[in-house]
Amino acid sequence: MLEDPSPATRLSALWVIERMQSRAALNRVGDMSRADPDERVRRRAKRVWNLMPLERTTRSQSFEAAPKEAQASP
């Protein structure tokens, strides 16, 4: 769903990830927050990234840390 051509479908997928608090998709969410062609999807991905409950020692409190961390991952 995160790769679907429809922005509405990608938004729905982000909603599911947020509700499930799925860390498995975190790298893709970070990518979407920077590079998705739809502004609404980028904003929603940033929100999901910031709301994801992670140990704060692994990333900063805000989205600002996402680009470096997401780029370092394979």
> Any residues with CB less than 8 A from the CB of 73 and at least 6 apart, and which?
27
What domain range is 35 assigned to? Answer: 7-72
Q: How confident is the model at residue 73 (pLDDT cuts 50, 70, 90)?
A: very low
- What pLDDT is recorded for position 52? 86
Is 2 domain-assigned? no
Count: domains in the chain: 1
Q: What is the pLDDT of residues 22-71, one digit of tens each?
A: 889 999 999 999 999 999 999 999 999 999 876 433 444 455 545 444 44
Q: Helix, strand or coil for residue 57?
A: coil
Whole-prediction pTM: 0.71
Is 29 domain-assigned? yes
Is 65 domain-assigned? yes
What would you report as the CA-atom Rg of the chain, rounded to the nearest whole angstrom? 11
- What pLDDT is recorded for position 65? 46
Is 47 domain-assigned? yes
DSSP 5-55: S-HHHHHHHHHHHHHHT-GGGHHHHHHHHHH-SSHHHHHHHHHHHHHS---
